[in-house]
Amino acid sequence: MATRILAYRFSAFGDVAMTAPVFREFLEQNPGVEIIMVSRSNFEALFADIPNVIFKGVNLDDYKGLFGLSRLANELIKEFQPNYIANLHDVIRTKILDKIYNTKGFKVFKINKGKEEKEHLTDIWNLNKFQLKKTVERYADVFREMGFKVTLSHQLRPKVLDKSGIGFAPFAQHKGKMLPLEKSYELARVLSQKNTVYLFGGGKTETEILEKWETEIPNIRNLAGKLTLTEELNTISQLELMISMDSANMHLASLVGTRCVSVWGQTHPYAGFLGFGQSEEDVVQVKDLTCRPCSVFGDKECFRGDWACLEELNIQKIVDKI
Average pLDDT over residues 5-28: 96
pTM of the model: 0.96
Average pLDDT over residues 67-93: 97
Mean pLDDT of the chain: 96
Average pLDDT over residues 74-80: 97
- What confidence score (pLDDT) does residue 160 get? 87
Query: Which regions of the chain does DSSP assign to beta strands (E)?
Result: 3-8, 33-40, 53-58, 84-87, 108-110, 166-169, 197-199, 220-222, 241-245, 260-263, 283-284
Query: What is the gyration radius of the CA atoms in the chain, in angstroms?
Result: 20
Under 8 Å CB-to-CB from 213, ≥6 apart: which residues? 185, 188, 199, 220, 222
Q: What is the pLDDT of residues 280-292, one digit of tens each?
A: 999 999 999 999 9
- What confidence score (pLDDT) does residue 2 get? 87
Give the single-character DSSP code of 73: H
Q: What is the pLDDT of residues 173-186, one digit of tens each?
A: 999 999 999 999 99
Least Cα distance to 5 among 53, 50, 44 occurs for 53
- Percent of the residues in the chain that have a pLDDT greater than 70, as a whole number: 100
- What confidence score (pLDDT) does residue 170 get? 98
- What confidence score (pLDDT) does residue 1 get? 77
- What confidence score (pLDDT) does residue 11 get? 86
Cα–Cα distance measured from residue 171 to residue 174, given in angstroms and rounded to the nearest whole number: 8
pLDDT at 226 over 80: yes
Q: What is the pLDDT of residues 159-206, one digit of tens each?
A: 888 999 999 999 999 999 999 999 999 999 999 999 999 999 999 999
Cα atoms found within 13 Å of the Cα of residue 180, Cβ hemisphere only: 13
